[in-house]
Structure 1
Amino acid sequence: MPHPAPQVTPEPADPLTAELVVDTAAAVAPAISPDGRLVAYGVIAKGGRDGRPHGSIWVAAADGGTSPRRLTDDTARDLDPKWAPDSASVFFTSDRAEQGTAQLQRIRLDGLDGPDGLDGLAGLDGLAGLDDSEDITEDITEAKAETLTSWRGGIADYWPLFDGRTVAVLAEDEPSAEDERRAAERDDAMVWGRHLPVTRLRLLDLATGALRTVDGLGDRHVIALAQRPDGGPLAVLSWSTPEIDAGVVTSELHVVDPGSAAVHDLGPVGIEAQSPAWWQHKGVWHLAHLAVSPGHVIGGLAVLDTVPSATVPPAIVPSATVPLATVPAVEHRDLTVGMGVCPTELVQVADGPLLALFADGLDTALYRLDPEPLRFHRLSSVPGILAGLTASRDGGTCALLASTAYEPGNVHAGRVGGPLSRLSDTRPELRAIRWGLQERLSYEASDGILLDGLLILPAGRTRDDGPFPLVTMVHGGPYFRYADEFNLNAMDSGQWLATAGYAVFLPNPRGGSGHGHEFAALAAGAVGGDEWTDITSGIDLLVAQGVADPERLAISGWSHGGFMAAWAIGRTDRFKAAVMGAGISDWGMQAGTGEWGPIDAALGGSTGWEGPGPHIHDRHSPISYASRIRTPLLILHGEQDTNVPLSQAIHLHRALRHFGAEHELVVYPREGHWLLERTHQLDVLRRIRAWYDRWL
């Protein structure tokens, strides 16, 4: 697996600036070629048009024998590389023709220098060389890149099919003449429920450029697909509507013949269904996917498996599409029931069982499915985060993103289950920074449940130098986790605070991932309950150990973590400062206006629609305790956030103003749930640190 992380840089060290945090170059979306020899990936960097991220496509030899080579310049948003079945070309999406509208492009690697294009990967600087002369990049790439679509609705996702002649494409409808007239005349009244465009499955003929829509799916919104590795049918996941609020609870699974476009419906699947993947055993094809454990709205993800041939005829009749309502739903077997870890990704290979990544406490593990008992067994495990798993056609070689305590995420590749070599190096300048020591924590909750988390000490300090001012940063979700990875980002960053002299506690309370379904399901209808005491138990431990100064405690978080920060200061006065980023103040309002309505209703316990109350969610909402808040609170929110609407922040702001509580509300124009614009990210980093400096 990834090489061990280097030790913290000793003095002398460069200062960590907000610009150094924000002006990132991050590797994303690795894709290993079917033959296992090359890895393509994207690199996202700040500083593009309008201060938003832009991207470029890179290719490296999977064995690490040559430096990565940039295939596209960084003037547009070039992302999401995928390989042709013959490993001879790379597809990717780009908005270079029209900003914000992605089209499909292709680069044929046989046009690079040397046999098979491999020699052309040698001799150029690695990712540290983002300033390589643009004329070299253009000579290699821009003349070679082919634009494959000009679809005015843009391309949302795609999958090159194994026949080498077709690409399955997910795309919205193109605007009609009537749509254009209405837009020009501002005749733009929205009928709710029909106001969001549906993403449809379409088949692109590479020879002619024609896009054929698969009509048998009706108006269902397609979110994911995967082709059977023998070149057979497509597995397609869809929602009843593009609205997340209803879509995540109305997922269905379909099988589509790419030749005839005939559709067979396999019926409803679990909440938050994702990652369809085929696998074969003894000549029988299975179809698996990830979804919340059956029978639950809140809980851990599970791997669910079915055999489509049990209910679908082995041959799809070209001349007919089976009506969706006429095929009975199939049974899905939970392959992860009882496991104390949580699956995060599924990957199919040509002739073998599934590969999967699992969140395992503070670590991430690679598993392979054992077909006989239908159970996963672990191949390897590493501290930190593994993500973006991609495997060669034979399943022997893989590539993924890996991040450890002092190393940001980079692309690694190697034999499955064996040591992996790092291919990308997007942030070499960070090795000159003196980071805070990151410790793994293990402790018991008040009811005896074993918990974990992380402690980051102030840079250059040890426990013996304490006690320190302590900032507790609560993760979002709540189905998320802190892994033993590099904690540096633009909004809620542990190392950013550690380099300013603060100790940082990163708890993993119940309701999160990494400890199996039952642990995650404990948050249902109980937010702010035992998960809150899980956090305070960790704080109490650090105070007792002399790490945390009980007179200089703060709490912060983003999203669900923002809710927890607001909840905390309504329960106790022990915190001297708090930061609520995109947080929830009223669970009933969140269930009615947030885009994850059914999930939020299950977390808060009620909606408020049941009658005049009192309601369960009132007991779990920080707004109910606003009169008690005495802790200075910094509220940060994106103006266009649809996940947690801005009204949540305004609601709490008005209550705090009414009661005369010390607080500040900062709203970021044009931003959603996460802040993307460079100037806004710089502001957040500086503002949060200044807030703690003022009060701690």
Structure 2
Amino acid sequence: MRLKSAAFASAAILLAAAPGATQTAPAIHGYGSLALSPAGDRTATIEAQGTRGVVTLRSAADGRVLGTLDPCPSCGYSGLTFAPDGGLVFLARDYKAGTVALDHADARGAVRTLATIRGIAQTPRVSPDGKRVALLVTLGANKESGATQAGVRMIGEIGEQNDEQRLAVFDIAGSNVTAVTPVSPQGRYIYEYDWTPDGRGFVATTALGNGDNNWWVATLDAIDAQSGAVRQIAKPATQLNQPRVSPDGKTVAYIGGLMSDFGSIGGDVFTVPLAGGTPRNITQGARETVTTIDWTRGGLRTVSLAGDQVRLGTLVPGRPVAPGFAKAASATAGDGRAVFSADGRIAAAVVQDYEHAPAIYAGPVAALRQVTHDNDAIQPIASARSVTWKNEGFDVQGWLLGPRIAPTAKAPMITMVHGGPSAASTPNFYTPASMVAQLIGAGYYVFYPNPRGSYGQGEAFTAANRRDFGGGDLRDILAGIDAVEKVAPIDDNRLGLGGCSYGGFMAMWANTQTNRFKAIVAGAGLSNWVSYYGTNGIDQWMLPFFGKSMYDDMKAYEDVSAIYQAKKAKTPTFIYVGERDIEVPPTQSIEWWHALKDNHVPVSLVIYPDAGHCVPAPEQSRDVTKRAIAWYDTYVKAAK
């Protein structure tokens, strides 16, 4: 289930004018797919130049632009990664042609195409000796990679054909390969991987069968780079992400924990011998959530979420993480939260918060500093503060956003529940086009709680809502609203609730548990866990949370299904969902719409054509925003 809804947390690269604005807002300069050179002296990003993005090289010391690469004006770029000699590998996707080029730029900026893939591709990684590039390829892909993407039409014999993401290897000195032959075996989906230091193979997270559905039961495997032979290293009891091999080639580290979405990474750090064995938790009991690891020559580097702060640090097995850079912000880079030099001394990340637009930070791990200033003049839309409270023995944190000038009278507030549930709301710089900005402009406060089940307080906190969906986490949210009302002028008689994915479930479920909210907006929500289990495309994700399948423990699924308590629901609700949502099929929204309609509760349902999870397409997302705000204005703002 998705981390965030595009409608509730959009942060587009280009700002659009807010409703009623007389001038176009300045454009936010974006920094996509950040990579750091092995020496730590240069960064590569995808940045806007005119109407499109180009590969941009900068000095990591001061952010100066050193040059740009744009070998395919009709393509979109991704997957930037440096080679050991300082060359750059990246992907150029031609959507019209249905191809992805694997390109290599040498130190002089000369670009050569190493391979052309018919389908989709991601995550290039250069071998330790710099002679080869590995790549995840989906040949003849029927859909975009990932369960949040719009699914294919469900026709023909169901479940017999699935896209396969496999590993392929290409020589950097070779000519353009157009007939791609993957190394990894057919029938096995590769999620993430890392080269072994000797270049003879890979460690990877893999699963047999449907890639969208089986990440939750993926194993940690070794794959031979020549034969493609697979050897299981470990079958962890938790979900796992970011396998990384130690420089001596003896040990594998990975992030393991209770995770509800591929890509929404968080947990403890585990190590296991490359030869195989039982994984060992080396951050057991930490009161933070590790979100990125990298095993450099200088040791294990980590990025973690600790309460309201993102932290970079150094991890020595058996000791607490030695904290370095810390900031109440969010960070992104490459396929993690930060990237590191080969020796682990230098790091870089794209950092932003609610009051500061994105900027590249770089420098020693303990002392990152801002090196780009393209967005310094852009003024924030909201003021923000971190709010903490205690509930039922848990320390809980959330973010309160409000107008830059506090109102003189009490104001309405909308609580936004993040998806997941294994995720967290972290600071992002919102654009005038986003729902948050428009709500604040219309006089609302916006509250982002991180209740139990969220990242940021340690693995025990994340696992605290196992077999308790909508129980303790909802009580944490209601207690958080009480805490917010003590520090801000919030009108308790004018409260609204919203969320998408797991947040959509919470919005539907809360309608049967409390009458505190005057209006609800539920995106891609789950109203009936029983029917959901049998109709969604990712049923495996529920097993770590419920313990058993629905067929083995139906009552556990019934007990947290709003549909079984529909008679209690009284709050007016706007529902939206994508027609081709794999994660939460539109039938879940239809069931809840039908229940509210039959019980004479004001309700509106919009199913967006061809849309995937949480309706990410810009035009459709704008329509969701318009309808949601109108719904809140009618039932929350006008409440007495």
Q: 1:454-473 alignment to 2 at 5 Å?
A: 454-461=399-406, 465-473=408-416
Percentage identity across paired residues of the two chains: 25
Which of 245, 251, 263 pairs up with 2:219?
A: 251
2:176 counterpart of 1:205: no
Distance 1:510 1:22, change over 3 A: farther
- Contact in 2 for aligned 1:56/1:79 (Cα 8 Å): no
State the secondary structure of the residue aligned to 1:675: coil
Letter in 2 for 1:525: R
- Contact in 2 for aligned 1:63/1:421 (Cα 8 Å): no
Match of 1:235 in 2: 203
Residues 478-487 or 651-660, more deviating: 478-487
Larger Rg: 1
2:48 counterpart of 1:41: no
Match of 2:267 in 1: 301
Residues 96-105 or 155-164, more deviating: 96-105
Match of 1:368 in 2: 314
TM-score, reference length from structure 1: 0.79
Match of 1:325 in 2: none
Match of 1:391 in 2: 340
State the secondary structure of the residue aligned to 2:454: coil
Displacement after TM superposition at 1:25 (Å): 5.4
State the secondary structure of the residue aligned to 1:532: helix
- Contact in 2 for aligned 1:554/1:578 (Cα 8 Å): yes
- Contact in 1 for aligned 2:18/2:432 (Cα 8 Å): no
TM-score, reference length from structure 2: 0.85
Distance 1:188 1:517, change over 3 A: closer
Displacement after TM superposition at 1:550 (Å): 1.8
Residues 671-680 or 389-398, more deviating: 671-680
Displacement after TM superposition at 1:361 (Å): 1.0
- Contact in 1 for aligned 2:359/2:370 (Cα 8 Å): no
2:489 counterpart of 1:547: yes
* Post-superposition CA distance 1:55-80 (Å, at most 9, x none): 43221111125236442277432112
2:529 counterpart of 1:587: yes
Displacement after TM superposition at 1:102 (Å): 2.4
Segments of structure 2 that go 5 or more residues without pairing to the other structure are 1-15, 142-151
Which of 84, 106, 124 pairs up with 1:158?
A: 124
Distance in 1, Cα, partners of 2:155 & 2:565: 39
Displacement after TM superposition at 1:270 (Å): 4.5
Match of 1:119 in 2: none
2:217 counterpart of 1:272: no
Match of 2:323 in 1: 378
Distance in 2, Cα, partners of 1:667 & 1:81: 36
* Post-superposition CA distance 1:72-121 (Å, at most 9, x none): 2774321121112210x32211222745542212233404xxxxxxxxxx
- Contact in 1 for aligned 2:197/2:249 (Cα 8 Å): no
Q: More helix per residue: 1 or 2?
A: 1
* Post-superposition CA distance 1:6-60 (Å, at most 9, x none): xxxxxxxx97449979986532221111122210112479x98xxxxx7432211
Match of 1:85 in 2: 84
State the secondary structure of the residue aligned to 1:394: coil
Letter in 2 for 1:330: G
Q: Which has the higher contact order (CA 8 A, sep 6+)?
A: 2
Distance 1:262 1:628, change over 3 A: closer
- Contact in 1 for aligned 2:183/2:226 (Cα 8 Å): no
Segments of structure 1 that go 5 or more residues without pairing to the other structure are 1-13, 49-53, 112-143, 176-185, 312-328
2:341 counterpart of 1:342: no
- Contact in 2 for aligned 1:239/1:252 (Cα 8 Å): no
2:29 counterpart of 1:31: no
Distance 1:667 1:109, change over 3 A: farther
Residues 536-545 or 645-654, more deviating: 536-545
State the secondary structure of the residue aligned to 1:153: strand
Match of 1:647 in 2: 587
* Post-superposition CA distance 1:295-349 (Å, at most 9, x none): xx999622111122xx3xxxxxxxxxxxxxxxxx522111111111111011122
Match of 2:252 in 1: 287
Match of 1:7 in 2: none
Match of 1:352 in 2: 298
2:627 counterpart of 1:661: no
Distance in 2, Cα, partners of 1:468 & 1:511: 29
2:296 counterpart of 1:330: no
Distance 1:594 1:424, change over 3 A: farther
* Post-superposition CA distance 1:660-691 (Å, at most 9, x none): 21011112222211433221122222222222
Match of 1:10 in 2: none
* Post-superposition CA distance 1:378-426 (Å, at most 9, x none): 223111112321111121211112112312333322122113223373x
Residues 568-577 or 595-604, more deviating: 595-604
Q: 1:273-672 alignment to 2 at 5 Å?
A: 273-280=240-247, 285-292=250-257, 301-308=267-274, 311=275, 329-349=276-296, 351-371=297-317, 373=318, 375-388=320-333, 389-423=338-372, 425=374, 431-432=378-379, 435-445=381-391, 447-461=392-406, 465-487=408-430, 493-544=435-486, 547-603=489-545, 607-610=549-552, 615-672=555-612
Letter in 1 for 2:213: D
Match of 2:145 in 1: none
- Contact in 1 for aligned 2:347/2:368 (Cα 8 Å): no
Distance 1:458 1:432, change over 3 A: closer
Distance in 1, Cα, partners of 2:265 & 2:243: 19
